[in-house]
Structure 1
């Protein structure tokens, strides 16, 4: 136990900065820094103690979340606050909150980024925004999708960066002329996947120039406008 407490006290800052720090990394660092060998068990238990110091007790945190939902609903009329858990085991699934008494703000926490969770989040967002009569457009950078369409293997890192840079110029072009120049450069890249990706994608879905929505109101720096 003493050794685990020592590991916890010495590595709590490392665990805070890097929660997924592997046990073997802790063992090696402990050996390199202090010249001491520690067992796998003491390393594991020490990491758990450090995580407890950093994040607190998970069960208590969950109970506080249940309490928080009730407080929001009771003290902030008009708020939408939803906590969902797996039936029978009270395992956290997702949480959504939008405060009724403040500037329109909503955020959600989910167990994983899936189509189901995205749909769930957007449905709750729509429940707040639609009664206001507001038109809102959600932007996504599609970075992962485009990365799949232009894999690094077979193209080379230089070509991949070149293609992605050209696509970014297309997306953020403010005039049709600027868009056409960038597109012409992009389609001559010797890649059938790049050409197919561009031809199958509606311009108003990714190009700033052809966006049909309203360009005023609130803007955030996370690609939401």
Structure 2
């Protein structure tokens, strides 16, 4: 080994003894400050001579170049002195490994406290704490190594997947877990719906939000989700699909599995965006079911064509309009501002997919796919994990969710006693009290036992109690009597709660979360499947 040395310490002569960097790691106690201790733990400082507090920073460029520091204590003050540059002739292949090992251990510690800790955050922390810059590639590799320690190897996880699915089905009756592989024996796609979710959905509203989100694990892919709404208006996960990409073929396959889970599919309303094969897939699998477009996505597309505030405002007026006259007025206003954009909207997105006056399904006031996207945000922690770890995070979150909401419903029922069987969930009861107060101020003209004309200070509406409809269209939209309907029902001396859809009942909420999602033993104990990971992977 040849050393080119230029001493920069005045009045101080040091004789350097270069030793094997891997033999003297026991001298960590010689570091007296946070910065040098952290750099030591990252493998970026090594002892050169144990008798002289002299250290070397290992550079990432294959160990060919290092800089030295001396921590000199003269009794009165201490300083860091840059001493020299070493040019090492012998090629040191060990240099990168200590650095990654140190970063890996630091990442493990961070992930334990902050599961969403990102490579960029590691880079920023190192720059701030020790003044060291590393590449994103090194930080990303450190993250993968850390995740491997915590969650296991990505590739090996696929070999245990069939065993994991079998145990899920065995411990959770009614669960559907379908796994498909390619002719080469590689993972292709899988579908998962827990038995408790399948049964629980029968007590929810007939409404499903569809969405997909990309996976950030080593083998990439996409996670497809089907999400319902419980009696309280909270999102209710129904099914999950892991596929290579969002496209029509994968959506058809996923929806066919969802279809097989459903006890009845006659009246289900779907909401989603218009991207990546969803529209033809829903039409093919759920023929006759209504499909609403996500209004937020339509809004974003229109702004690209005509970013005019008044035009967008009129678009939303047309969306929420409860009468054809209000809808037509809004559309005419849009044509005045931008005829081309209005024609584009009506041609590419027919109003029966989004306008309240034209849509025949039940949206329950949900005009966007936010419920499905909220679920994807809820799953953010799981998206970069090996597939079994990802599925187990989903299972554990659902387990906690079912238990907490089940206990909430149980306590509410116990507090009401015998009245619980007739009670509605709290937010609906509150809504009925508010509309009831308004209804008492209306003038009511009965046309028959079932049809009533309701006169308010601003408008006149017609209520048909038999068909559970009001000309304001709110009763049909939410399946909860509006103020006009409440006025008519109260005049009949009947209970308004009787006319609320059964999906809003407190008992329905309890039944939704009455199931149990059970834990399973370690799938690796008897894993024997030779399933290979998918061909796509992140570099």
Establish whether TM, by shorter chain, passes 0.5.
Answer: yes
- The answer for unaligned runs of 5 or more in structure 1 is none
* 2:151 aligned with 1:151: no
For the 8 Å contact 1:86–1:93, the answer to whether it is kept is: no
* 2:177 aligned with 1:81: yes
Alignment deviations for residues 154-204 of structure 1 (CA, whole Å, 9 cap, x no partner):
x5xxx2665445434433333434433432332323251442222453322
- The answer for unaligned runs of 5 or more in structure 2 is 1-96, 202-237, 273-293, 374-477, 479-539
1:103 maps to 200
* 2:222 aligned with 1:222: no
For the 8 Å contact 1:204–1:210, the answer to whether it is kept is: yes
1:209 maps to 357
* 2:247 aligned with 1:114: yes
Alignment deviations for residues 45-100 of structure 1 (CA, whole Å, 9 cap, x no partner):
42322332464322343344322321344344544321223332423433232527
For the 8 Å contact 1:150–1:194, the answer to whether it is kept is: no
For the 8 Å contact 1:4–1:46, the answer to whether it is kept is: yes
* 2:269 aligned with 1:137: yes
| Residues 1:111 and 1:150: Cα distance change in structure 2 (over 3 Å) | same
Q: CA deviation at 1:212?
A: 1.6
Q: Higher relative contact order by CA 8 Å / sep ≥ 6: 1 or 2? A: 2
TM, length-normalised to structure 2 = 0.33
Alignment deviations for residues 118-159 of structure 1 (CA, whole Å, 9 cap, x no partner):
111221222232x5364212112165566456527xx5xxx2
For the 8 Å contact 1:81–1:96, the answer to whether it is kept is: yes
Alignment deviations for residues 6-25 of structure 1 (CA, whole Å, 9 cap, x no partner):
32344454894265x46xx8
1:17 maps to 116
- Higher fraction of helix: 1
- Residues of 2 paired with 1:175 and 1:167: CA distance? 15
* 2:129 aligned with 1:30: no
For the 8 Å contact 2:190–2:242, the answer to whether it is kept is: yes
Q: Who wins on radius of gyration, i.e. which is larger?
A: 2
For the 8 Å contact 1:173–1:179, the answer to whether it is kept is: yes
| Residues 1:163 and 1:50: Cα distance change in structure 2 (over 3 Å) | farther
Alignment root-mean-square deviation, CA: 3.8
1:94 maps to 190
- Higher fraction of strand: 2
| Residues 1:46 and 1:111: Cα distance change in structure 2 (over 3 Å) | same
| Residues 1:196 and 1:36: Cα distance change in structure 2 (over 3 Å) | closer
- Residues of 2 paired with 1:82 and 1:90: CA distance? 15
Equivalenced residue count is: 213
TM, length-normalised to structure 1 = 0.69
